């Protein structure tokens, strides 16, 4: 029988393109509720539809694919459901930029044509990431690809919105929200990133109305907001100020006076001057303080965060000043205001001050607390069951450490602002009767972008429903205007685990695969997404959306820096796949996925695993070159030592890879595979069986060839989830049954393979060969040179083992073995090394320099002496012998005995070498 000859190096590119195609054509990834097996389902965290694959996706998706392929091979009814989200703000920003380049804008196009334009962009670029995912080898059921703005998913969004509204869990109200003056939309609290900056703390004097010679000094980081002040607060128990409570101060640069109020919540007596201005329309704390004291709100910025002349006028600001600062951004207006205050002697101090500012997570613009009517989800009633589900273990977060993070956040959760003032997304299903809300609907008709805005003011009556109402229940009017806002993208992705399975329809998929099994995601969206899925799943499905949440690390560059395009330190997974192969990338990411630690990814690591792939390829190449000849499935226990040993090791590797995967320890599983394949299978097993394979007459040949095929085929199945392409290719080169490794069984431990006595025997072999090789180097014998060496072990059973191993020792030691007891060894011209009861002797030929060998022996001696002293010291300690467990004491004594014996033998060896040097 002749076997095909493989190329000398593994060509990942050619192999990957071929199998990716076949897998998808054959439909191996297609899931069905009617398939057999216990369901196992993962829904993919939907990436941005117009994005492209970055290395964070590569990690996230590789881990999911490992789980999915593993479970599929285990015979589970597996569904990995792929899809993308519409990424409202991000996608709209991209298309707006395109329009800007063309000299157009979304306003010039109008809402309908603008949305059309985004759909076009989605159609053009939406396949990119999907193609890239396929290239990564992801075994998703691509026929079930979902998108958050699909008809079905939009139906789910509508259903959820209307039902939550009916139950009073969605409401509209005018609140201070985080506003991005560049994206011109509201953001939720968690869409704001905080950044520490060096700011200034300004001390400004407010004159008392009753007595202008007396002044109250307030401290602020934002002097420009003083125009919007409604009061000054002091601590009610602060003896410096509390007698002033109830009096009024003149607000600088305006014609207004404002009250001094006592507020123990807002005021920290220790900070600044102990007096703080209250600006309810522009600060979250002040907003609440304003509520407490019934203070008016004076908005002085417009939606672009420019100083608004109308607002300033209403706030009573001096007209000359308004003329100077109107329509300026804060950065330009602040120096002018500073100057005006200085001119009047009211700015007494400016200190450096560290502070935090909020930035838009999409565009990094400084966000502004902005007073506006928005839609909110009343979150507490939804959060409570979601806290419980994690507390009582119905949902497990892995690593466990993040559980408290989740619980802490959920317990302190605030209402969720879900309306966005953009056009791309699910438009809110709320309508307003024009007749009833005449004064509350403000439709701009100007030519500029900002003057075209449609604003529905606070207090307008909204009619929420799945479709536009036909007549107004109040006035029977028929003229309606729809709320222009769209929903936060996360509102639709919160429904992902059930909306993708067909909800609100009761589909067989929903029945089979919900709750899903595992969610794999990064920490950065634990709150954005995971928490919200749990809330929505419990609310609308009455059950958790998934059992396990596995949180993986963030991928950083080799220096530990966050990857970003602007820093230019991004590792492009596609480039890496091109250069080193997809399997190498996948294996690298898996092997570095240690819990609770970020991944610092360096290309050298990937290169190392490319080499690993090549090593496996060459092991196969070797096997195929040596398969000619009969094979016989001998009972494992009747096979030769190398075969029995490697089966035993393979068996243990199967056990550990399986249990590590069950524990989500991808790193451990990958390392177990690496260690076994490279350092046991290749380094030792293949070397051990070479003489047998190359001797056609060997009686052990049929068993060895059988073991060779059996082990490599099993190993490929074991490795397949990690390196799908390489293993598929090799599997097809080997004798096999079936059409693809994708649908083969995952290896399970085989009791008949366990052979602990072979493991022990191997340890002796490895130990012996190690000493022989060391001796060779010490004596400068070239690797190929045949030598005579002596081996003896102190332990009778080990000595018997040496006899069993004689042929293997001779082969790997490259020489002739003599197993006589040490007392029979030649007296002179011999280098002896001793460790752990094993003595190795090599004949010293001619005029080699023995100093190297002597150094080595001396070093060994001093290390041993140190250890002996340490052990003796411990055993002399009566407290140790009285209190330590007996097995520990016995172990110490054993080690000491062995070391003393080794030491005396080594001493005689040293004498011998010295004698040779002396002569």
Partner RNA sequence: AGGCGGAUAGCUCAGUUGGGAGAGCGCUGCCCUUACAAGGCAGGGGUCACAGGUUCGAUCCCUGUUCCGCCUACCA
- Among 266, 510, 755, 838, contact with RNA (rule: CB under 7 A): 266
Q: Does 221 bind RNA (CB under 7 A)?
A: yes
- The answer to whether 436 and 475 are in contact (CB under 8 A) is yes
Q: Does 267 bind RNA (CB under 7 A)?
A: yes
Find the shortest distance in angstroms from Cβ 477 to RNA. Answer: 42
Q: Does 357 bind RNA (CB under 7 A)?
A: no
Closest CA to 471 of 482, 463, 459, 483: 463
- The answer to whether 307 and 224 are in contact (CB under 8 A) is yes
Find the shortest distance in angstroms from Cβ 303 to RNA. Answer: 22
Q: Does 560 bind RNA (CB under 7 A)?
A: yes
- The answer to whether 255 and 321 are in contact (CB under 8 A) is no
Q: Spell out where 181-324 has E strands.
A: 185-187, 192-207, 215-220, 231-234, 248-250, 257-262, 275-278
- Among 28, 142, 171, 409, contact with RNA (rule: CB under 7 A): 409
Which uninterrupted H or E stretch holds 425? Answer: none
- Among 52, 128, 285, 903, contact with RNA (rule: CB under 7 A): 285
Q: Does 282 bind RNA (CB under 7 A)?
A: no
Find the shortest distance in angstroms from Cβ 413 to RNA. Answer: 9
Give the Cα separation of 352 and 345 in Å (integer).
20
Collect contacts of 147-151 with beta carbons under 8 A, ≥24 apart.
Answer: 147/46, 147/49, 147/83, 147/84, 147/85, 147/86, 148/46, 148/83, 148/84, 148/85, 148/86, 148/489, 148/492, 148/493, 148/496, 149/86, 149/425, 149/426, 149/492
Give the Cα separation of 328 and 538 in Å (integer).
48
Query: What 8-state DSSP symbol labels residue 149?
Result: T
- Among 408, 446, 508, 873, contact with RNA (rule: CB under 7 A): 408
Q: Does 872 bind RNA (CB under 7 A)?
A: no
Q: Does 918 bind RNA (CB under 7 A)?
A: no
Q: Which is nearer to RNA, 265 or 743 (CB)?
A: 265
Of the candidate spans 148-156, 307-315, 479-487, 598-606, the one that interacts with RNA by CB under 7 A turns out to be 598-606
Find the shortest distance in angstroms from Cβ 216 to RNA. Answer: 11
- Among 182, 297, 394, 895, contact with RNA (rule: CB under 7 A): 895
DSSP-based three-state secondary structure for 320: helix
Find the shortest distance in angstroms from Cβ 189 to RNA. Answer: 5
Q: Which is nearer to RNA, 376 or 424 (CB)?
A: 376
Give the Cα separation of 200 and 196 in Å (integer).
13
DSSP-based three-state secondary structure for 238: coil
- Among 292, 597, 806, 852, contact with RNA (rule: CB under 7 A): 597
Q: Which two tokens stand for residue 563?
A: 């990857």
Q: Does 592 bind RNA (CB under 7 A)?
A: yes
Q: Which is nearer to RNA, 560 or 756 (CB)?
A: 560
Q: Does 803 bind RNA (CB under 7 A)?
A: no
Three-state secondary structure readout of 613-665: HHHHHHHHHHHHHCCCCCCCCCCHHHCCHHHHHHHHHHHHHHHHHHHHHHCCC
Site size for RNA, by CB under 7 A? Answer: 97
Q: Which is nearer to RNA, 19 or 287 (CB)?
A: 287
Of 663-692, binders to RNA (CB under 7 A) are 667-668, 671, 675, 678-679, 682-683, 686-687, 690
- Among 396, 547, 874, 901, contact with RNA (rule: CB under 7 A): 874
> End-to-end distance of the chain based on CA atoms, in angstroms?
60
Of 97-126, binders to RNA (CB under 7 A) are none
- Among 209, 338, 384, 598, contact with RNA (rule: CB under 7 A): 598
Q: Does 707 bind RNA (CB under 7 A)?
A: no
Query: What 8-state DSSP symbol labels residue 366?
Result: B
Of 499-528, binders to RNA (CB under 7 A) are 523-524, 527
Q: Which two tokens stand for residue 399?
A: 């690593």
What residues contact 166, with CB distance under 8 A and at least 6 apart?
Answer: 464
Find the shortest distance in angstroms from Cβ 384 to RNA. Answer: 18
Find the shortest distance in angstroms from Cβ 165 to RNA. Answer: 25
Find the shortest distance in angstroms from Cβ 827 to RNA. Answer: 26
- The answer to whether 130 and 82 are in contact (CB under 8 A) is yes
Closest CA to 720 of 673, 687, 761, 760: 673
- Among 10, 23, 432, 540, contact with RNA (rule: CB under 7 A): 10
Of the candidate spans 3-11, 161-169, 471-479, 700-708, the one that interacts with RNA by CB under 7 A turns out to be 3-11
Q: Does 198 bind RNA (CB under 7 A)?
A: no
- Among 222, 334, 396, 736, contact with RNA (rule: CB under 7 A): 222
Q: Which is nearer to RNA, 40 or 664 (CB)?
A: 664
Query: What 8-state DSSP symbol labels residue 725?
Result: H
Q: Which is nearer to RNA, 296 or 826 (CB)?
A: 296
Q: Does 774 bind RNA (CB under 7 A)?
A: yes
β 83-84/231-234 pair status: unpaired
**Helices 724-733 and 582-591 sit at what angle, rounded to 10 degrees?**
120
Find the shortest distance in angstroms from Cβ 341 to RNA. Answer: 15
Tally of residues, the chain = 919
418 vs 171, 178, 302, CA distance in Å? 10, 12, 21
Q: Which is nearer to RNA, 79 or 494 (CB)?
A: 494
Q: Which is nearer to RNA, 513 or 676 (CB)?
A: 676
Q: Which is nearer to RNA, 201 or 718 (CB)?
A: 201
Q: Does 577 bind RNA (CB under 7 A)?
A: no
Give the Cα separation of 611 and 592 in Å (integer).
17
Find the shortest distance in angstroms from Cβ 851 to RNA. Answer: 14
Point out which residues pair with 396 in neighbouring strands.
548
Q: Does 283 bind RNA (CB under 7 A)?
A: yes
Contact code string over 602-641 relative to RNA, x by CB under 7 A: x-xx--x-xx-xxx--xx-xx--x----------------
Find the shortest distance in angstroms from Cβ 277 to RNA. Answer: 6
Q: Does 196 bind RNA (CB under 7 A)?
A: yes
Q: Does 356 bind RNA (CB under 7 A)?
A: yes
Query: What 8-state DSSP symbol labels residue 600?
Result: E
Q: Does 854 bind RNA (CB under 7 A)?
A: no
């Amino acid at each position: 029988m002749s076997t095909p000859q493989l190329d000398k190096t593994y060509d990942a590119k050619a192999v990957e393109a071929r199998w990716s195609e076949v897998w998808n054509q054959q439909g191996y990834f297609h899931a069905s509720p009617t398939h057999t097996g216990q369901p196992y389902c993962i829904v993919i965290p939907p990436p941005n539809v117009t994005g492209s694959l970055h290395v964070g996706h590569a990690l996230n998706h590789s881990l999911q694919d490992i789980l999915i392929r593993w479970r599929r091979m285990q015979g589970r009814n597996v569904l990995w459901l792929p899809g993308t989200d519409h990424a409202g703000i991000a996608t709209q920003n991209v298309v707006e930029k395109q329009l800007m380049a063309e000299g157009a804008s979304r306003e010039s196009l109008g809402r309908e044509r603008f949305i059309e334009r985004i759909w076009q962009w989605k159609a053009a670029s939406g396949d990119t990431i999907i193609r890239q995912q396929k290239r990564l080898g992801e075994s998703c059921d691509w026929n079930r690809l979902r998108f958050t703005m699909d008809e079905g998913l939009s139906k789910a969004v509508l259903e959820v919105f209307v039902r939550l509204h009916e139950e009073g869990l969605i409401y509209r109200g005018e609140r201070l929200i985080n506003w991005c003056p560049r994206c011109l939309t509201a953001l939720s609290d968690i869409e704001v990133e905080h950044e520490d900056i060096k700011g200034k703390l300004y001390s400004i004097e407010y004159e008392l109305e009753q007595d202008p010679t007396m002044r109250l000094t307030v401290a602020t980081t934002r002097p420009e907001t003083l125009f919007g002040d409604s009061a000054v607060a002091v601590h009610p128990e602060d003896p410096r100020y509390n007698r002033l409570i109830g009096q009024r101060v003149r607000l600088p640069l305006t014609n207004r006076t404002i009250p001094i109020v006592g507020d123990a919540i807002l005021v920290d007596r220790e900070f600044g001057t102990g007096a703080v201005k209250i600006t309810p329309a522009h600060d979250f704390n002040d907003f609440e303080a304003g509520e407490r004291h019934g203070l008016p709100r004076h908005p002085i910025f417009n939606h672009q965060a420019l100083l608004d002349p109308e607002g300033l006028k209403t706030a009573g600001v001096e007209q000359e000043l308004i003329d100077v600062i109107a329509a300026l951004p804060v950065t330009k207006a602040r120096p002018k205001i500073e100057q005006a205050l200085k001119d009047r002697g009211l700015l007494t101090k400016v200190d450096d001050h560290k502070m935090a500012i909020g930035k838009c997570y999409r565009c990094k613009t400084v966000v502004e607390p902005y007073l506006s009517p928005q839609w909110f989800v009343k979150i507490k009633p939804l959060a409570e069951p979601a806290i419980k589900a994690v507390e009582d273990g119905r949902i497990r977060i892995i690593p466990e450490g993040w559980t408290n993070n989740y619980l802490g956040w959920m317990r302190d959760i605030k209402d969720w602002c879900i309306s966005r003032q953009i056009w791309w997304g699910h438009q809110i299903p709320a309508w307003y009767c024009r007749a009833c809300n005449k004064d509350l609907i403000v439709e701009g008709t100007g030519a500029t972008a900002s003057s075209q805005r449609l604003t529905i003011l606070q207090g307008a009556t909204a009619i929420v429903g799945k479709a536009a109402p036909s007549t107004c229940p109040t006035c029977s009017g028929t003229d309606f205007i729809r709320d222009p806002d769209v929903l936060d993208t996360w509102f639709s992705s919160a429904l992902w685990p059930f909306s993708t399975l067909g909800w609100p329809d009761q589909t067989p998929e929903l029945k089979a695969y919900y709750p899903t099994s595992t969610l794999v995601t990064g920490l950065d969206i634990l709150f954005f997404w995971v928490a919200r899925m749990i809330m929505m799943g419990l609310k609308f499905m009455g059950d958790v959306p998934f059992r396990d949440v596995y949180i993986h690390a963030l991928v950083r560059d080799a220096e530990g820096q966050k990857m970003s395009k602007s820093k230019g330190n991004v590792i492009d997974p596609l480039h890496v796949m091109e250069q080193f192969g997809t399997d190498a990338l996948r294996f690298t990411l898996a092997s570095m996925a240690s819990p609770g630690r970020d991944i610092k990814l360096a290309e050298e690591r990937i290169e190392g695993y490319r080499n690993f792939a090549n090593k496996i390829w060459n092991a196969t190449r070797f096997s195929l070159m040596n398969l000619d000849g009969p094979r016989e499935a001998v009972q494992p226990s009747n096979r030769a030592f190398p075969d029995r040993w490697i089966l035993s090791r393979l068996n243990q590797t199967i056990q550990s890879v399986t249990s590590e995967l069950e524990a989500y320890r991808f790193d451990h599983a990958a390392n177990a595979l690496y260690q076994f394949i490279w350092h046991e299978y290749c380094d030792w097993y293949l070397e051990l069986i070479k003489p047998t394979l190359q001797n056609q007459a060997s009686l052990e040949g049929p068993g060895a060839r059988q073991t060779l095929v059996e082990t490599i085929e099993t190993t490929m199945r074991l490795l397949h989830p990690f390196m799908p392409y390489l293993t598929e290719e090799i599997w097809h080169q080997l004798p096999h049954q079936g059409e693809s490794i994708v649908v083969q069984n995952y290896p399970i431990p085989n009791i008949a393979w366990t052979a602990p006595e072979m493991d022990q025997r191997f340890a002796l072999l490895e130990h012996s060969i190690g000493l022989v090789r060391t001796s060779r180097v010490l004596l400068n014998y070239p690797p190929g040179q045949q030598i005579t060496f002596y081996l003896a072990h102190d332990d009778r059973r080990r000595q018997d083992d040496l006899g069993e191993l004689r042929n293997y020792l001779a082969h790997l030691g490259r020489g002739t073995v003599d197993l006589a007891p040490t007392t029979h060894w030649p007296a002179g011209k011999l280098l002896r090394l001793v460790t752990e009861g094993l003595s190795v002797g090599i004949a010293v030929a001619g005029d080699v320099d023995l100093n190297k060998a002597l150094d080595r022996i001396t070093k060994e001696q001093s290390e041993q002496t140190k250890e002996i002293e340490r052990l003796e010291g411990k055993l002399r300690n009566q407290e140790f012998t009285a209190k330590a467990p007996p097995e520990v004491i016995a172990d110490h004594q054993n080690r000491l005995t062995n070391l003393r014996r080794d030491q005396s033998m080594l001493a005689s060896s040293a004498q011998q070498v010295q004698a040779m040097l002396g002569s």
